[in-house]
Structure 1
Amino acid sequence: MNLENTSRTIRNTKTVALTIILMTSAVSGCLSDESGNDNQLVIVTYDVYALSEEMISTFENQSGIEVQMVKLADSGSILSYLIQQKGTGANDLAIGLDNTYLQTAIDFDLLSESQTDIQGISPEAYGPYEGKLAIPFDMGHICLNYDSNVVDGVNLSVPTSLWNLTETDWKGKVAIPSPMSSSPGRGFMLATLDYLEYTTDSYSGFDTWWSSMRDNDVIITPGWSEAYEIHYTGGYGEYMPGYIGDAHMTVSYCHSPGVEAWYNGNWTKSASLNLDKTSFFQVEYASVVQGGNTENADLFIEYLLSPDVNALMPTQNMMYSVLEGQDLPEEGGYRHHSIVPDLNANITPMAISLNIDAWLERWNSAMTEGE
């Protein structure tokens, strides 16, 4: 497949509207008026969540329920929106909170227990959280990706330590999405805490590494798409509008090279860095919203976790299925080019909830000191 067409396909696949897109504040009053409708399901999700129109139509036809969407930017936006909407009863289901935001949503009492009894979810998917307030629906490992055409041992060497990225050879050649506004960026920042041996008494390694990256002209972007599609030289971004191509390493997923290969005839120049504790295991959840229609929300959760639907996560949402016995497709080199990290960082959802504000403040200070 031509990679230029591939870039469009990837982007289109990840932005298919599930059904009606509702803008947030402009329609919140209308949603409140209709929240008691037994034949309606209002889902709050984020902009890159994708299911095919055929899948949604199948659910609507099987259930008799009309699906409406509130589509936001990312997991953090979902959390902020649910806090803003708390007590309105306007929303039924949240799809896309991940394990970096989940505990905060629980602490704010934004979620209700699901009454579903879904069998076959893998123990790995239950690793960060095992309870009824959030049901895993996809997962993946966040890690550094690099352009193997450039990081080839001649032009640049494959890093054996994060500290290598603070060296002159890497000056201005690393793009990282901001942890303030990006879920992958936040996951990577959390991984650096573990890698750099953060303790409650010492941030020294964390502060020093990030300030050294700042001094080495690291490129910080608002989100994943800007880092991967505009700056990264190893992916499909070179065929996207606005491409700059000044970074040979970025933060994405360990299976992102597999996605590239799958869309491009088992070929990719992108590779994932398998370096202990620099990766972060991310799980995304479907959660019943407090005050919403639990019955309809649970019906959709059951549908989303059904084998026929969830098995398609690798090609519909570019993430792993959470069901036991499922893996990435072998076709097109998807599985072959997707590594599983030897050792992920270990930061619990509870630790994240208790410390994330302080961690983000320290990150921001390291990145802005002296400006």
Structure 2
Amino acid sequence: QWLFVCLFVLLLGIVSQGIAGENQPVVTLMTHDSFAVSKHLLETFEKQYGVTLKILKTGDAGLAVNQAILSKSNPLSDVFFGVDNTFMSRALTAGIFETYASPKLSKIPETLKLDPENRLLPVDFGDVCLNYDKNWFIDKKMLPPQTLEDLLKPEYKSLTVVQNPATSSPGLAFLLSTIGKYGEKGYLEFWRKLRANDVYVSTGWSDAYYGQFTRAKGGTRPIVVSYASSPSAEVYYSDKPLDEAPTAAVLGPAMAFRQIEFVGILKGTKQPDLARKLVDSC
């Protein structure tokens, strides 16, 4: 009988916890496929505010922004993370974000604050540039590219993968870097030559880096558009300890584009207070 009472109390506690979890408010964060955050941070936010945090990934940054715009009359989430300065004007013109002057703005450099109305708040930045697989070039006894012009040379034919600028934020950033280097009249000629040299245009960063790049299983392209921080990330996230990065970034004048990433509260959110708390936590 005592055992039955203990089991009943234990079962009642489990059911009560389940009901409490079901009754918790849900706040949804819409973002791109490359978004990553530790389980500990998610659980800390949920515990601190007594909520369930749902992460909704909707493709590369450009696709995610388009999805948020298309669903603005019935928003899919409360907060959007991952609009960058290349897609910023598209998002702001669509009018999908609410103004929110977070108290955390005082800690952010003025150079990163690109929206004076505070509809989009900067959360991080990175430099988009070419990366290459060091071992591939060592094995082939070839010099890695040092300039954009190198990509047009016959010896680099079929070696480069970039992202579609219509759907990918690093793809659009790379396109803008070529406009910055060659000007509005010259960049198209560069791209014509790059296309003639068999550049591969991927749908997004994940497919390019984890699918087409030679660092990925089955990848055939040793040059990829990624970030200046990608070599460090290779070391940090490696399953096995590495003494040095297996990749390198190609850096130099007019070789990189500073990408700033933003977070914003979507108009029509049903959880405005929690949405603000989530933005403050980013």
TM over 0.5, shorter chain? yes
1:248 and 2:234 are equivalent in the alignment: no
Give the 3 Å change call, closer, same or farther, for CA 39–229 of structure 1 in structure 2.
closer
The equivalent residue for 1:85 is 71
SS in 2 for 1:169: helix
The equivalent residue for 2:278 is 300
Name whichever structure is richer in helix by fraction: 2
The equivalent residue for 2:247 is 270
Out of 251, 258, 277, the residue aligned to residue 232 of structure 2 is 258
Q: Distance in 1 between matches of 2:86 and 2:232?
A: 24
The equivalent residue for 1:121 is 108
SS in 2 for 1:111: coil
Give the 3 Å change call, closer, same or farther, for CA 137–266 of structure 1 in structure 2.
farther
Q: Distance in 1 between matches of 2:88 and 2:131?
A: 26
1:110 deviation in Å?
0.6
Q: Is the 8 A contact 1:177 1:223 kept in 2?
A: yes
The equivalent residue for 2:200 is 219
1:52 deviation in Å?
2.2
Give the residue type in structure 2 aligned to 1:125. Answer: L
The equivalent residue for 1:308 is none
1:192 and 2:169 are equivalent in the alignment: no
Give the 3 Å change call, closer, same or farther, for CA 66–97 of structure 1 in structure 2.
same
SS in 1 for 2:180: helix
Give the residue type in structure 2 aligned to 1:254. Answer: A
Out of 51, 66, 74, the residue aligned to residue 60 of structure 2 is 74
Give the 3 Å change call, closer, same or farther, for CA 90–159 of structure 1 in structure 2.
closer
The equivalent residue for 2:211 is 230
Q: Is the 8 A contact 2:133 2:223 kept in 1?
A: yes
SS in 1 for 2:135: coil
- CA deviations over 1:141-168 (Å, ceiling 9, x no partner): 110012233546x833343431221111
Give the RMSD, CA atoms, in angstroms.
2.3
Q: Is the 8 A contact 2:127 2:259 kept in 1?
A: yes
Q: Distance in 1 between matches of 2:121 and 2:78?
A: 14
- CA deviations over 1:314-333 (Å, ceiling 9, x no partner): xxxxxxxxxxxxxxxxxxxx
Q: Is the 8 A contact 1:143 1:188 kept in 2?
A: yes
Report how many residues are paired.
Answer: 255
Please, what TM-score do these two structures have when normalized by structure 2? 0.82
1:70 deviation in Å?
2.6
The equivalent residue for 2:13 is none
1:187 deviation in Å?
1.0
The structure having more radius of gyration, on CA atoms, is: 2
1:131 deviation in Å?
4.3
Give the residue type in structure 2 aligned to 1:46. Answer: H
Out of 15, 20, 26, the residue aligned to residue 40 of structure 1 is 26
In structure 2, runs of 5+ residues without a counterpart are: 1-22
- CA deviations over 1:84-139 (Å, ceiling 9, x no partner): 2223355321111111111111111110011421132234533x445411111222
Give the 3 Å change call, closer, same or farther, for CA 147–69 of structure 1 in structure 2.
closer
Give the 3 Å change call, closer, same or farther, for CA 214–56 of structure 1 in structure 2.
same
Q: Is the 8 A contact 2:130 2:249 kept in 1?
A: yes
Give the 3 Å change call, closer, same or farther, for CA 266–108 of structure 1 in structure 2.
same
The equivalent residue for 2:120 is 134
Out of 249, 260, 280, the residue aligned to residue 257 of structure 2 is 280
SS in 2 for 1:188: helix
Q: Is the 8 A contact 2:61 2:167 kept in 1?
A: no
The equivalent residue for 2:4 is none
The equivalent residue for 1:312 is none
- CA deviations over 1:32-90 (Å, ceiling 9, x no partner): xxxxx993312212222122222222111111222233321122222222222223355
Q: Is the 8 A contact 1:257 1:272 kept in 2?
A: yes
